[in-house]
Amino acid sequence: MPLTLSQLQSSLPQGGLFGGGAWRWSPEPLKLTASEARFITRLGHPLAQFQKASDTIYRRSANGKLPSWIAETLDVGKPEWMVREQRHAGTVNQLPRVIRPDLILGHDSFALTELDSVPGGIGVTAWLSRVYADAGYDILGGRDGMLDGFRSLMPEGGAILVSEEAGDYRPEMEWLASQLGEAWEVMAAEEYEPDGRTLYRFFELFDWEAIPSSRRIATKATAGEISLSSPFKPHLEDKLWLALLWSPGLRRIWEQSMRQNHLQRLRELVPFGWVMDPAPLPPHAALPKLDVNSWEEVAAFSQKERQLVLKISGFHETAWGSRGVYIGHDLPGTEWKARIDEALASADEQPWLLQEFREGRLIEHPVFNADGSVEMMRGRARLCPYFFTDDAGETTFAGCLATLVPADKKKIHGMSDGVLVPVTVAV
């Protein structure tokens, strides 16, 4: 049942996949316990409800029915036309139909560090699932779960618009389209003109100026003339929601906007977070859990106190791929202070957030060396389950990509010494 290195490398599709397959390989998938797998596969509906509640809170704020600071904070740095578009009544029911959380495999639970609605890795996960399933492994999501999930977004076919900025992912999307059939086509986003087809947007909204037809696509989608996933709603692509989930001023609003069990599950998953607001606090107030009165005090924290992660929120070229992420206890004190100062100084142009750091547990997993021999790598894992919402509004689990990195790495993302594998349940 275990695969050989030559079997894996020779199975790569012509044209390769993301990064040309330049990751380390493993003879077997990552094994989760039955309870871990069950927890992951049931996350789709609560996460979809979280996005729906976030959109509702934003719209109510924009309409004056909730405090205006919510929408104003989320609109920082966005072009006026895109703000108008996402506030339009025609977009009320338009929500992301792909959901991919980044889950750090912890000591006794998971930590959700990001929620992506325009994720990479769909084609890679689909291919890995198929290869390991064909070798006899019972892959979580099934052999073709990822293909079926993506097909549900555009059952009759359509165009997958990949931008030059996202060009590293084009090979995996081209392979995905080739497996779906002739009705699915990958096109250069910069060259596309709306022609009525169903569209899958694989470009970041901050890159809109490089896409000449982006405004026309957004307008037609708002008017219901075309089907588009994901919609032009930049606020939903901000990491800031992971901090707003913990805002004391929004506690009751969240409790009114979501079912209690869904909200509780999210609060167990999402590390506590803070919006980096430079406005001074009253002398008698303190930042929740940090127990200090100012960000200047946070900037002066000792290394032991800096078990924190600073992140740029979104709508920025550094807001994906673990760029724009700074781990407090991994930085010299002078750099930590500089990053805090940078976040506060740019608050009027680009929101930032701070989160508690949750360390992943150490695991061991077999990996191939360059000569085909196998060694046990000691490292940490990030799990990326993919959920797709079909035309009927049902959100379904489709597959899961595990990224394993050596134990000395604080950030877990695709890298040359990382390992990419699908997931199975330990027997």
Same domain assignment for residues 58 and 104: yes
Q: Which helix (H) or strand (E) holds 215?
A: helix 214-222
Q: Per-residue b/e over 18-36, b at no fewer than 16 CB within 10 Å?
A: bbebebbbbbbbbbbeeeb
List of the chain residues with pLDDT < 70: 19-21, 318-322, 410-416
Same domain assignment for residues 65 and 144: yes
Same domain assignment for residues 115 and 194: yes
pLDDT, one tens digit per residue, over 203-247 is: 999 999 999 999 999 999 999 999 999 999 999 999 999 999 999
Same domain assignment for residues 71 and 209: yes
> What is residue 61's predicted lDDT score, i.e. its pLDDT?
98
Same domain assignment for residues 147 and 280: no
pLDDT, one tens digit per residue, over 15-26 is: 788 766 678 999
Closest CA to 128 of 139, 136, 119: 139
> What is residue 412's predicted lDDT score, i.e. its pLDDT?
63
Does the model's pTM come out above 0.85? yes
> What is residue 20's predicted lDDT score, i.e. its pLDDT?
65
Same domain assignment for residues 330 and 310: yes
Of 303, 326, 356, which one is at a domain's C-terminal end?
356
Closest CA to 256 of 45, 44, 53, 48: 53
> What is residue 314's predicted lDDT score, i.e. its pLDDT?
81
> What is residue 414's predicted lDDT score, i.e. its pLDDT?
58
Same domain assignment for residues 217 and 316: no
Same domain assignment for residues 328 and 376: no
pLDDT, one tens digit per residue, over 58-104 is: 999 999 999 999 999 999 999 999 999 999 999 999 999 999 999 99
Show the tokens assigned to 38. 């069950």
**What residues contact residue 260 under an 8 Å CB cut-off, 6+ apart?**
none
**Phi, psi for 399 (deg, rounded to 5):** 170, 175
Of 356, 377, 404, which one is at a domain's C-terminal end?
356
Dihedral angle at the C-alpha atoms of 100, 145, 187, 117, nearest 10 degrees? -10
Any domain includes 143: yes
Q: Burial, 287: exposed, middle or buried (Cβ in 10 Å; 0-12, 13-18, 19+)?
A: middle
Same domain assignment for residues 337 and 404: no
Same domain assignment for residues 152 and 19: yes
User: CATH no. for residue 332?
Assistant: 3.30.1490
Same domain assignment for residues 399 and 332: no
Q: Which domain holds residue 282?
A: 273-356
Same domain assignment for residues 343 and 391: no
Any domain includes 166: yes
Of 306, 324, 356, which one is at a domain's C-terminal end?
356
- Report strand pairing: 199-202 vs 228-229: parallel
Show the tokens assigned to 165. 């900025």
**Phi, psi for 297 (deg, rounded to 5):** -70, -35
